[in-house]
Structure 1
Amino acid sequence: MKIKLFFILLAALCVSKSYAQPLKEIKIEPISWWAGMENPFVQLTIYGKDINKTTVEINYPGVNLIRVHQVENSNYLFADLEISKDAKAGLVPIKFSQNGKVKFTYNYPIGTKSSAAGIQGVNNSDLIYQILPDRFSNGDKRNDIVPNMRETGLNRDSMYYRHGGDLQGIINKLDYIYDLGATAIWLTPVLENNMEKASYHGYAITDHYKIDPRFGTNEQYKSFVEKCHQKGIKVIKDIIHNHFGDQHWTISDLPFKDWVHQWPSFTQTTYKDQTVFDPYASSLDKKKMVNGWFVKTMPDMNQENTFVQNYITQHVIWWVEYARLDGLRLDTYPYNYLPYMKEWAERMKLEYPNLSIFGEALVNSNISQAYFSGGNKLNQGIDTSLPGVIDVSVKDAIYESINGQFGWTTGVNSLYSTLAEDFIYVTPENNVVFLDNHDLSRSFSILKENLSAYKSAYTILLTTRGIPQTYYGFEILMKNFCDPDGLVRSDFPGGWQEDRTDKFTHEGRSPEENEFFNHFKTLANYRKKTSALQTGKLMQFVPEDGVYTYFRYDSNKTIMVIVNPTNQIKTLDTARFKERLQESDSAMDVLENKIFRFEKQMDIPANKTMVLELL
């Protein structure tokens, strides 16, 4: 165990090199690998000045050099290795020779793969708390400004500059997150973003094997995951297949021209996901959607190229193995090359069967979401093998249920109808249900800063099917519309020593903030111990008179949820729900902590969602 840890840490810090002749720089990625992988093959990307003028030799028991690929750029070689399960952990000498003489030797670390059973996975029992690290909490001022980075400014008065939040800041708040009821943390990307501006959000990666030093180090990230696990919190990593940052080292010096999608002039994606599955779509429209660049500073990767595929896939495997991650959130999923994404998902499941994966598909319909999720139930012609997506349709339906006009196809009927279409998914319970995130307007603003409506929306979120996800600051009523997106990425008050108020504490929050905080905390922690709200079945009844009623139930408990978003007291006939109420004549009102007696007629308060545990 100690030997394995030594070589992993060695790889993370800096791979050692020994030279027979001076060489300015050589880079090999993945920076280390493991014996015992289900797929024993790994492709090394080797970079150095005129490296393709050398020949490569490996003589190490259990490690077989299959092939060396020369490409357009003389500064690259790609080496295919097979590492047997019997290979011992250690430094593999990779010899580079020219004219029969060894020019230098690169000592490449390999370890032994840990048991895949140690990967927990994120499931319906979990509640995800999403964090934008730069804006959550500054736990280490020493890394606020790192010399030699392209962006060194720190300006909390600007939404575009870095504010100083880091991994240590999150570690300092793990008790707060767990006490709130969360069991999983999703961080927006924390890998190096050495970009000239707006590097804080993390989605323009410049080094796939290095935590951005303004957040911390590789070792600290691994420690963060370990500390989360010790507290009963799982960790989800944000993965970006579609694009790199334009300052990534493979972009600054392309291995070959079609490493990225090339256009005669800058061509941006159309953001029209429909063209991917539209049977009548123009081939040019489809090409622009998938191959067009997201923005000028984020080159679109050519995922039809197997070298690109290997590079992306291997870095994800490296982080799962190195840090022992529990789940992956896939950014900009519809913009990827779907045949590759299918192979990628199957490769990940081969290595880590319990690993959870869900994709971001910010689309406009249930059908669009289902197209990108796993299965081939809609005659789409491809099974992406993607277990779940972020459920935009449910999000929109919850908002419509609370904010909308109440008619046959609107209001609470929208949520009923959306869930009634779950037959289009293979595993709808794997979808991540949410109300906002770093790209969308804050839920408190969308719900018109109405506290009763806000409570109802989050009560639905915690009691409907799927894996619920929240966004930092929702619990203290953070607000703003996403115009621009920086407005929904504000600092969490109290995350910085100089902050005048600390909303991580009861004393720092206003009475209204504490009212919602306690409401959510009560229900989230109740959900944490109630299997019916996690994996229980869902039965919903057709809404009547603007009121929506549904049940979550299993062999242990039955939970009745009644949503009355109207401004009037509504009366329900309990006989209608006999199928699920059965012989129950009372229930525990979970949010009020009192016994509720069932009568033939039930009066449901206005602007309220009730959660009743049948007794």
Structure 2
Amino acid sequence: MASFQRLSDIDFAQLTNRPFYPSPLAWEDQVLYFLMLDRFSDGNESGYLDNEGNPVAAGTTPLFRRSDDYENAIGTRAEAETWRDAGGRFAGGTLRGLESKIGYLKRLGITAIWISPVFKQVVSQESYHGYGIQHFLDVEPRFGTADELRRVVQTAHDHGIYVILDIIFNHAGDVFGYNADRYDTFDEHRNITYIDPRWDGRPYVVAGYRDSRGDTSLPFQTIDLAQHPDAWPDGAIWPAEFQTPDTFTRRGRINSWDHDPEYLEGDFFTLKDILHGSGQLDDYQPSPGLKAICEVYKYWIAFADLDGFRIDTVKHMDLGASRYFTAVIKEFTMSLGKENFYLIGEITGGRQRAFTTLELTGIDAALGVDDIPDKMEYLVKGYRNPTEYFSLFRNSELIQKESHIWFRNRVVTMVDDHDQVRKGENKARFCAAAGTDQQLVAVVALNVTTLGIPCLYYGTEQRFDGHGKNDRYLREAMFGGEFGAFRSRNRHFFDEDNEAYRKIADILAVRRQHLALRRGRQYLRPISGDGLSFGLPQMLGGQIRSVVPWSRLFNNQELLCAINTDADQPRTAWVTIDNELHRAGERLRCIYSTDLTVSAPDVEVEARNGKAIRITVPAAGFVIYG
């Protein structure tokens, strides 16, 4: 398919004249998997299982074996430098590679994949992450083609998997340069020297659009291709509707990330801010640029049959712009029969901002990448009180909601992610610290069996341990290449025999079988050592090494889940359960345990603290009783 130069070239009537894949009834039933396309698969692996579960012998990259391949890329100082440098460039992941691994995700238990942006990037820059768009109506050639994107979605749908695409409309890529001498500013946090001016509340003069070499040789206006034929396809910005100067705020880069209006109208580092409109929320007037953005993303929904969007940097956009976009997209998708097309917003700045934004804009869910992963990770590692995590989902005056059931489908929860803003310069996946990989299954279990829509970050199921001062260390290549996980090269990680992969798949299978684990009310449960004195589990001396239990209740059914924050030994405790749903003398069955070598016995309900059962949870383990 040839890419479009103008939005007016799109024939929406033809695109929409077909049946579309229906939306899920409930997104809280889904398990998401976030992958960075450039770092997932290049399709050249060998020794993995194809989409139907058959062994694949072809390919040039063998499976990683820890005993032989661990840190094989950093044997010398020069090799280590080569490995680190490779992490800052395109690694080689493709849409074809992703299509070949849909079966791997299906067998893991994934029901929706969230793909990083696939759109064409500024050709002179290494924006492998996809957030520096130069052509909104084309796919980045290094990833593949638009038709290959459509095939990925079709293959996913054929396997019962929905597709959520990461989109950006706060900004474009670094498509123009400012008309000024160098504004050199060194950012020690990101180890970057900026050459763009800082925001100071007024627009700057623009030197011109960038050409294919990155020089500002093209006029900052709608491009006449007769005079500047070299602007297509790698210069300026496309489609042509975005080329008018008023598309951009042109006020320089954000320096103070919480200063209003700086964080709303400043550039996101070198990524150029788009002007969305003006006015208050209820009478917001969308700009031509915002209207064009809506048409762009309507096109991709219709072309590829997408099921949802993850919207980048919502905090940095007017609420009126987000509401307008949401309304346009919702109306369009309902016209296609996608009644529950899902919009997930990346809304940083705390829970108050997130939930206010959801209420005022109509965005369906917030991406919980702030306090949720912190409380989740360090609870399992034994350094947070359980109430700190579970209270995030309870009734709260802060969000002015009467029932915590509201959280079922309003928050996407995850442990690892691709930038970990919360950790500053100490970025690290869950398994980065020595000995913590044995606790991984417990934290994933906590994630997928508590409230919210759970999301796994790619590589978590293979215990990736990336860490360092830069985002790149969280973005290892699953297919190996020059920047493989565990400081390796030329080894892939699609290992379905990995213990973590198998246990996570088992837990997700149990989740699919029990509605209570997906939609039920949630209660942190009191525990007791002697069966007489009960209280909520809590830290002692700055640590908690204990059984941490919670219940999910739905339609008179209770499932009790519990983790053990002690990684060295099993822990036993009396656990309170619902007094009215159970009678003394009945027995509860162990539905799941991470210790597959021991057949966990049924437990008897006793009249203690209302009703209680006595359970044992394996070291760093997880159990479900019901």
Contact map agreement 2:343 2:364 (CA 8 A) in 1: yes
Q: Distance in 2 between matches of 1:495 and 1:233?
A: 27
Q: Distance in 2 between matches of 1:556 and 1:500?
A: 52
Which of 246, 249, 269 is matched with 2:236 structurally?
A: 249
Q: 1:112 to 1:179 in 2, by over 3 A?
A: closer
Shift of 1:117: 6.9
Structure 2 counterpart of 1:466, which letter?
G
Q: 1:535 to 1:326 in 2, by over 3 A?
A: same
Structure 2 counterpart of 1:527, which letter?
R
Where does residue 601 of structure 2 map in the other structure? 596
Which of 463, 470, 474 is matched with 1:484 structurally?
A: 470
Where does residue 118 of structure 1 map in the other structure? 22
Write the deviation string for residues 156-177 of structure 1: whole angstroms up to 9, x where unpaired: 9611111111011111111111
- The answer to which of 425-434 and 473-482 deviates more is 425-434
Q: Distance in 2 between matches of 1:139 and 1:438?
A: 22
Q: Give the 3-state SS of the residue equivalent to 1:124 in structure 2.
A: helix
Is 1:429 aligned to residue 412 of structure 2?
no
Which of 260, 282, 287 is matched with 1:306 structurally?
A: 287
Shift of 1:324: 0.8
Q: Distance in 1 between matches of 2:309 and 2:41?
A: 23
Q: Distance in 1 between matches of 2:306 and 2:556?
A: 31
Where does residue 258 of structure 1 map in the other structure? 246
Residue correspondence of structure 1 range 167-206 to structure 2 within 5 A: 167-206=95-134
Shift of 1:139: 2.2
Where does residue 551 of structure 2 map in the other structure? 551
Shift of 1:493: 4.3
Residue correspondence of structure 1 range 2-17 to structure 2 within 5 A: 12-14=1-3
Contact map agreement 2:564 2:621 (CA 8 A) in 1: yes
Shift of 1:449: 4.3
- TM-score, normalisation: structure 1: 0.70
Shift of 1:257: 3.4
Structure 2 counterpart of 1:415, which letter?
Y
Q: Distance in 1 between matches of 2:508 and 2:382?
A: 26
Q: Distance in 2 between matches of 1:323 and 1:582?
A: 53
Give the number of the structure whose residues are more often strand, by fraction. Answer: 1
Where does residue 260 of structure 2 map in the other structure? 286
Contact map agreement 1:137 1:165 (CA 8 A) in 2: yes
Q: Distance in 2 between matches of 1:398 and 1:581?
A: 29
Where does residue 348 of structure 1 map in the other structure? 329
Which of 366, 377, 382 is matched with 1:389 structurally?
A: 366
Q: Distance in 1 between matches of 2:316 and 2:500?
A: 37
Contact map agreement 2:236 2:243 (CA 8 A) in 1: no
Where does residue 424 of structure 2 map in the other structure? none
Q: 1:181 to 1:314 in 2, by over 3 A?
A: same
Identity of aligned residues (%): 22
Gaps of 5+ in 2: 46-81, 176-234, 278-285, 334-338, 421-426, 527-535, 539-543, 607-612
Which of 222, 229, 252 is matched with 2:157 structurally?
A: 229
Is 1:530 aligned to residue 493 of structure 2?
no
Residue correspondence of structure 1 range 399-438 to structure 2 within 5 A: 399-405=377-383, 410-421=384-395, 424=399, 427-430=406-409, 431-438=411-418
Contact map agreement 1:330 1:358 (CA 8 A) in 2: yes
Q: Distance in 1 between matches of 2:346 and 2:573?
A: 38
Shift of 1:320: 0.8
Is 1:158 aligned to residue 83 of structure 2?
no
Q: Distance in 2 between matches of 1:121 and 1:269?
A: 42
Q: 1:536 to 1:252 in 2, by over 3 A?
A: closer
Contact map agreement 1:494 1:504 (CA 8 A) in 2: no
Q: 1:505 to 1:549 in 2, by over 3 A?
A: closer
Q: 1:111 to 1:158 in 2, by over 3 A?
A: closer
Q: 1:207 to 1:425 in 2, by over 3 A?
A: farther
Contact map agreement 1:589 1:610 (CA 8 A) in 2: no
Is 1:469 aligned to residue 464 of structure 2?
no
- The answer to which of 495-504 and 317-326 deviates more is 495-504
Shift of 1:531: 1.8
Q: Distance in 2 between matches of 1:237 and 1:416?
A: 30
Shift of 1:519: 1.5
Which of 577, 584, 587 is matched with 1:585 structurally?
A: 587
Cα RMSD, aligned residues only: 3.1
Q: Distance in 2 between matches of 1:220 and 1:237?
A: 14
Shift of 1:294: 0.6
Where does residue 280 of structure 2 map in the other structure? none
Shift of 1:271: 2.4
Q: Distance in 2 between matches of 1:262 and 1:449?
A: 49
Where does residue 302 of structure 2 map in the other structure? 321
Q: Distance in 1 between matches of 2:560 and 2:395?
A: 21
Q: Distance in 1 between matches of 2:571 and 2:623?
A: 16
Structure 2 counterpart of 1:300, which letter?
D
Q: Distance in 2 between matches of 1:506 and 1:385?
A: 39
Contact map agreement 1:289 1:335 (CA 8 A) in 2: yes
Q: 1:125 to 1:179 in 2, by over 3 A?
A: same
Structure 1 counterpart of 2:109, which letter?
G
Where does residue 149 of structure 1 map in the other structure? none
Q: Distance in 2 between matches of 1:448 and 1:416?
A: 27
Where does residue 180 of structure 2 map in the other structure? none
Structure 2 counterpart of 1:611, which letter?
V
- The answer to which of 343-352 and 237-246 deviates more is 343-352
Shift of 1:336: 0.9
Q: 1:33 to 1:581 in 2, by over 3 A?
A: farther
Aligned residue pairs: how many?
472
Q: 1:249 to 1:31 in 2, by over 3 A?
A: farther
Contact map agreement 2:122 2:174 (CA 8 A) in 1: no
Contact map agreement 1:445 1:481 (CA 8 A) in 2: no
Q: 1:354 to 1:539 in 2, by over 3 A?
A: same
Q: 1:562 to 1:309 in 2, by over 3 A?
A: same
Write the deviation string for residues 524-555 of structure 1: whole angstroms up to 9, x where unpaired: 12212322222223233352355432112334
Q: 1:495 to 1:582 in 2, by over 3 A?
A: farther
Q: Distance in 2 between matches of 1:445 and 1:590?
A: 23
Where does residue 88 of structure 1 map in the other structure? none
Write the deviation string for residues 114-154 of structure 1: whole angstroms up to 9, x where unpaired: 4567344771111111111111111279xxxxxxxxxxxx9
Shift of 1:422: 5.8
Write the deviation string for residues 462-485 of structure 1: whole angstroms up to 9, x where unpaired: 100111111111111111235211
Where does residue 214 of structure 2 map in the other structure? none
Shift of 1:327: 1.1
Structure 1 counterpart of 2:560, which letter?
M
Gaps of 5+ in 1: 1-11, 16-26, 36-109, 142-153, 273-284, 376-382, 508-513
Contact map agreement 1:30 1:314 (CA 8 A) in 2: no
Shift of 1:357: 0.9
